[in-house]
Structures are given as C-alpha cells and as structure tokens.
Amino acid sequence: MKETLLKTAAAGINILYLPFRLKPQRNKVTIISRQSNKPSMDIKAISGELEGRGIETAVLCKKMDESIKGFVKFLPETLRQMHHIAESKVILLDGYCLLISVLPKLKNKKVVQVWHSLAAIKKFGHQNIGRPGGRDPVLARALKLHRNYDEVLAPGKAMGKLFAEAFNVEEERIRILGLPRIEILSKGEDIDLFKVYEKYPQIEGKKIILYAPTFRRGKGLDLRGIMEAFNLEDKVLVIKRHSEDKGVNSADNPNIIIDSIFPSTTWLNICEKLITDYSAISLEGALLDKELYIYQPDVEEYGEEVGLNIDFREKELKDYCYTDPEKLMEGLKGPYDKEVVRAFLKEYIEVDTNSCIRALGDHIEDLLKE
C-alpha cells in the first residue's frame, strides 16, 4: 500500500513537471537543500562566489518531513523547485532531492551532488538500504533514492570511492573538489567570543572539550555514561547534539554544557579536544589540528545496524578509541600524538584547503560553458 501511494505520487510529479519543460533554459545555477530552512555555511559560500562572478543563482532551502503528510505539505516547495530547475543549466544538491531522482534524467542540465558532509564515516544511501539503521527498501525503490547525478564531489580519492558506493555512481563521476567549509575552517571562522562567554560564563579561563556525536536515526542519544564519568575540574565539556536529536537538554554538573545555540564550527574553533563517534566532524576537527578522541560505546551494534566505512579501531586513531567512559576520561588526561590526526587528514583530504571556494566556482563556471 505504502509503495503504491509513493509510486503514484512520483508519477504525479512527472505529470506536474510537463508544463515546466516548456520554460526556456538560462545560464543559471540552482542550489537545492532540504537539510535546513536556512542556507548552510557551504551554500552561502558557493552562492556568494557565483553571484560575485555575475552568475544568476537561486538558493532553495526547505526541510521536508519524510512522511506521506510531509510529502503533501512540501508540494508548494516542489512547484517552486520545478520552476527553478527548468530554468537552470546547473543544479547543485547537498542531499537527496525528490524531483531530481524521480523525474527522468533532465536533458542539457548538469546535476552535481555536493553533499552536506566532508566524510562518510558511517554507511549511508545505497550502502545500507534495508539495514535497521538504513533506508527502507520500499521507500528507496519508490522514490528512486539518489539517482540522476552527473557528478559527485569528494575531497579526495579515498572518500570519493565511498561516495561512489553511497550514491550508486561510477567512480568516473567523482570530482575531487572540496566543500567551502574546508577553506573556511582552515582559515578560521570569525567568531564572536563575547556572545559565547556571555551565554556560558563558566567556560572563561577553562579548556573546552567538545563532544559532538552523530545522529542516530530513530534512537535517542544516551548521554548518561559520559556525563556521569566527566570529572575534569579544570575543563568544560560541551555536548553538541545533532539538531534532530531529542532528549536530555541540561546537566547538574556546572562544568557540562548541552548547547543548542551556537554552531558546532564555533565550538570546534575554540575547543582544545574533540570527542566524536561516527560523525564527519572528526575530519573537520582534523582540519583544525585538534586532539581527536573516538567514543563509541555502541560500536558493535552500530556497525551491524548502520555499517561503518571507516572503523577507527583499525586506523591511525586506534589508540584514542574508547567504549568505556571512565577509560575515555583517563585518556583525556594523558599525552597526545598529533601526528595520528595529521595522518587521518592526509588520507582523506587531498584538495588545496586554501582555494576550495574558487576551485568550485571555476568548475561550475566551466559546466555552464559546456
């Protein structure tokens, strides 16, 4: 029943797009995201670069609830996307786009998947369809998960191979180009520290440890272990949960902050140490040469349910991997070899970190000339 409804909706989209095919195409770029209702750091940088070159650019950012009801409510945005897609020669995506996947391959247009993350630490997309932590096969089949991409961006060849699997594209379609955030993070974000200290005066004069775990689809994040174990009086633990995670939002310990106000990049710039699990923030932390600790209390279960592309227990960072919060705290007190972080960075990021925005702008301009 569910698959029939979704396939009917997909057929309806094809019919709705028919009159838009008559619109004349222009040398225009459309950027589409459903990650947030606001442009991300990357989208702002890309659109700013293109507009600075005099290239007509449309930015469409709107989250969609993945349900039949959400599908219906998204219809006005779908029509808006149709309008801009029809007019554009290049379409940039930072995630799955319903229209691009369910419509037949659009002629004389280049569709580029830039993705919203630097890394594929965990399996996603076509890699884990049917797994408990992956996409529903019925949904993936009916809505044609990740199809019709001409190119997929990746920051290096090793990550490109993983992206090729996740998006089900040939490796020849991978373009080694970095997201703008690589350059932005490398050069240092312009941070208003006064606002951070004003909100959290307890951090002044103390070293900050950032804990930024990945989003667990359909499961809440259990913070009790790390919160109960945290005993570093001279430091503050900032827990930056994924925006989709619900659960504990305060702590009894004054040296623990559960933040939902400032972006993770702000905390990354001011923290001394980074704790994460299966999140691409590990690579962002490596860009900033942070001490990187991997805390994965559910690693066996997560590996079975979601799947791992990069198992840190088998990589350079193996000596900084923990499943027990008490042992993690002991590790945080000890010495750290930054060379393991630099080796991790070198393996997965090959692009020039100082010119990602210009290089991406050059590439898009070339696509417009084809």
For residue range 90-120, what is the model confidence (pLDDT) as tens digits? Answer: 999 999 999 999 999 999 999 999 999 999 9
Q: Judge whether 272 and 208 are in contact, CB under 8 Å.
A: yes
pLDDT at 4 over 70: yes
Residue 226 banded pLDDT, cuts 50, 70, 90 = very high
Alpha-carbon span 213 to 328, nearest angstrom: 14
Of the listed ranges 18-27, 223-232, 287-296, 308-317, the least confidently predicted one is 223-232
The DSSP secondary structure of 126-165, one letter per residue, reads GGSTTSTTS--HHHHHHTTSS---SEEEESSHHHHHHHHH
pLDDT at 36: 92
For residue 238, CA distances in Å to 6, 262, 321 come to 41, 11, 19
DSSP classification of residue 25: P
pLDDT at 249: 63
Of the listed ranges 132-141, 170-179, 286-295, the least confidently predicted one is 132-141
3-state class (DSSP) for residue 6: helix
Q: Judge whether 363 and 103 are in contact, CB under 8 Å.
A: no
pLDDT at 241: 77
Residue 260 banded pLDDT, cuts 50, 70, 90 = confident
b/e 133-160 (16+ beta carbons within 10 angstroms → b)? bbbeeeebebbbbbbbbbbbbbbbeebb
- Calculated CA dihedral for residues 128, 77, 35, 257, nearest 10 degrees: -130
3-state class (DSSP) for residue 214: coil
State pLDDT tens for residues 261-277: 899 999 999 999 999 99
Q: Judge whether 123 and 308 are in contact, CB under 8 Å.
A: yes
- State in Å, rounded, how far the first CA of the chain is from the last one: 43
pLDDT at 90: 98
